[in-house]
Structure 1
Amino acid sequence: MLLTMPSGRTLGAPIAAPTTFTDLAAANAGTALTANDLEYNVGAAVAYHRRVAFFQGNGGAQNVATSAWTPITLGEIIDVHAGHSDSSNPARVAADSTGTGDDWYLCVGMVPLAAAASGAGVAGIRLNGSTIYEGAKLPLGSAHAATMMVAELLRVQTGSSQYVELMAYQNSGGTIATQASGTKLPQFAMRWACSNTGDLVAAPSVPRTWTADDLLTADLAGPGQVPLNTHIRDVVRWLRYPPVARVDSRSTTQTLNSGAWTSIQMTGGSIDNYDGHSTSVNNTRYTAPRAGLYFVYGLAAVNEAAGATGYRASRLAVNGTTFYAGTSCEPASTSLGTAVPACAHIRLNAGDYVELQMRPQGNNVTVKSGTGDSSRLIVVWRGL
């Protein structure tokens, strides 16, 4: 269900640019602050950001053919901005059904595949029926259902024909069904994360408690003065444009040595709006530009040679001293490689840095560097 303000404004996307208020000389008559001004700059912004575009859905038992990508059919659990249909193309999720924005969405999915005697499974996310961004690549097993995770930060046009799909792939040599028993079933969530463009501002402080004696100003600050550009405009700017980043290992030629934890070099990327990453200086790091709670997802994706042995493990490292464990598994596939994710909500101070690390045990491996199969690090600010 879409939200509608009293003026009739439909909240399909956050407001494009909050008003910048101006202080006038005492002798000049200003423009009255009207209810419409407050609805646009306060009401609409708060209403959207407390109920942003969000989809969550589950899949069922579905056959996945060997050596072919299959979109996963989804049923709705939550669909805040009407971006999904249960009857028409139910594997597809649009950003939302209204608006003209071009924003970034955090997409997270799980694909459990039934037991198989051999082969590997892969979870992926496909944008607009074209590029597939691959997630975990794990070996399948004869006694359990392997579950692959994938996460992506994608720029999706709203109010258009653009869409996102959860995908599954396996190379066992025969058809395998997705697992759908109890709580082990395909899952997918897609949530608005950030506007495509905006202003870099300070993280908001605790909201002001207003009093009857407050004097509203644009920028003037002093006893009893409340600068609206600080308490309204910049807060709205922050909510629509918080720090996010997606960096990856495209074009890297890095080798990871057996028996050692190594930070993966991130030489490419698609967004880093607060300049937390450099492709040339300490390119394994994302440095938090503002303090807060961040969702961090890393995918360590490597090539596998014939006869690969041992295991592959991933983790997240903060300042090189605090670690968040990820996934470990045996090598997945000579033809596909292995990809192991790690994710966590991490509280970072401004200046703290986070890295994705991998430990291959058994033999050295090289990091993947393609458009859709590279290693990647995704960071999204979630709160103070």
Structure 2
Amino acid sequence: MPMAGLAVPIPASEAPGNFITGALWNANVYNGLTFLLNPPAFLGYQGSAQSTPNNTATPINLDSEQFDTYNGHSTSSNTSRYVAQVAGYYFVYGSVTWQTNASGIRVCQLAKNGTAVTGAYTATTTTSFNATANTACIVQLNANDYVEVWGNQNSGGALSTQTGATCSSMSCWFMHA
């Protein structure tokens, strides 16, 4: 069950002689442990094939979710995006799988707020089988920043992504503030 709205806890400084009140306990112990046991985490994937144009970086639609603990993703609006609800550093992993086509290369890239993330780019050559490209990177996000996985291919024409057991996906895990 999502626990949206939990902020990254900031322990208060206490002085000798202060009494441990319920509010102090919640602020310094309970909220911190609750956050650490349930940080923001997301895994979305593509349930419907998507046509990607030739030589054009294309945000990959993620119309299905396995989990989204802080409600940072929508399956009906801007489905390619995971929107950070809590500022911090996130480990982001993306993969894109295309249907069989033996021409050209396939690219997977991560983007933050519509701009490619430096160091989060992988290209793979194709074979006569489905081609998958994937990449991962640590990305610093402020609240309301978003990340996407982009696919690009140069087969000579539009090429659809693959669905099923080998589908395109993106995962995001909060690491630290």
Pick from 122, 128, 134: which aligns with 1:341? 134
SS of 2:32's equivalent in the other structure is helix
Matched, 1:330 2:125: yes
Matched, 1:264 2:57: no
CA contact (8 A) 2:124 2:132 kept: no
Query: What is the aligned partner in structure 1 of residue 113 from structure 2?
Result: 319
CA distance in 2, matches of 1:199, 1:269: 16
Pick from 15, 36, 40: which aligns with 1:243? 40
Query: What is the aligned partner in structure 2 of residue 125 from structure 1?
Result: none
**Greater CA radius of gyration, 1 or 2?**
1
For 1:230-253, what per-residue CA distance to the aligned partner results, in whole angstroms no more than 9, with x for missing partners? 111010000000000000002x13
Q: How does 1:46-85 map to 2 (within 5 A)?
A: none
For 1:146-190, what per-residue CA distance to the aligned partner results, in whole angstroms no more than 9, with x for missing partners? xxxxxxxxxxxxxxxxxxxxxxxxxxxxxxxxxxxxxxxxxxxxx
RMSD of the TM alignment (CA)? 1.5
SS of 1:216's equivalent in the other structure is coil
CA contact (8 A) 1:301 1:340 kept: yes
Shift of the 310–199 alpha-carbon distance from structure 1 to 2, 3 Å rule, reads closer
Matched, 1:216 2:35: no
CA contact (8 A) 1:312 1:328 kept: yes
Query: What is the aligned partner in structure 2 of residue 70 from structure 1?
Result: none
SS of 1:356's equivalent in the other structure is strand
Query: What is the aligned partner in structure 2 of residue 151 from structure 1?
Result: none
For 2:114, the aligned partner's letter is: G
SS of 1:309's equivalent in the other structure is coil
CA distance in 1, matches of 2:46, 2:9: 33
CA distance in 2, matches of 1:313, 1:264: 12
Pick from 221, 230, 236: which aligns with 2:27? 230
SS of 1:210's equivalent in the other structure is coil
CA distance in 1, matches of 2:2, 2:66: 16
For 1:285, the aligned partner's letter is: R
Query: What is the aligned partner in structure 2 of residue 288 from structure 1?
Result: 84
Q: CA deviation at 1:199?
A: 4.1
Q: Structure 2 length as normaliser, TM-score?
A: 0.92
Mind listing any 5+ residue stretches in structure 2 that lack a counterpart? none
Mind listing any 5+ residue stretches in structure 1 that lack a counterpart? 1-196, 220-226
Count of paired positions: 174
For 1:311, the aligned partner's letter is: I
Q: CA deviation at 1:273?
A: 1.0
CA distance in 2, matches of 1:301, 1:331: 11
Q: CA deviation at 1:209?
A: 3.0
For 1:312, the aligned partner's letter is: R
Shift of the 375–198 alpha-carbon distance from structure 1 to 2, 3 Å rule, reads closer
CA contact (8 A) 1:326 1:340 kept: no
Query: What is the aligned partner in structure 2 of residue 356 from structure 1?
Result: 149
Identity of aligned residues (%): 28
CA distance in 2, matches of 1:359, 1:204: 39
Q: How does 1:366-381 map to 2 (within 5 A)?
A: 366-370=160-164, 372-381=165-174
For 2:27, the aligned partner's letter is: T
For 1:17-76, what per-residue CA distance to the aligned partner results, in whole angstroms no more than 9, with x for missing partners? xxxxxxxxxxxxxxxxxxxxxxxxxxxxxxxxxxxxxxxxxxxxxxxxxxxxxxxxxxxx
CA distance in 2, matches of 1:304, 1:248: 19
Shift of the 315–376 alpha-carbon distance from structure 1 to 2, 3 Å rule, reads same
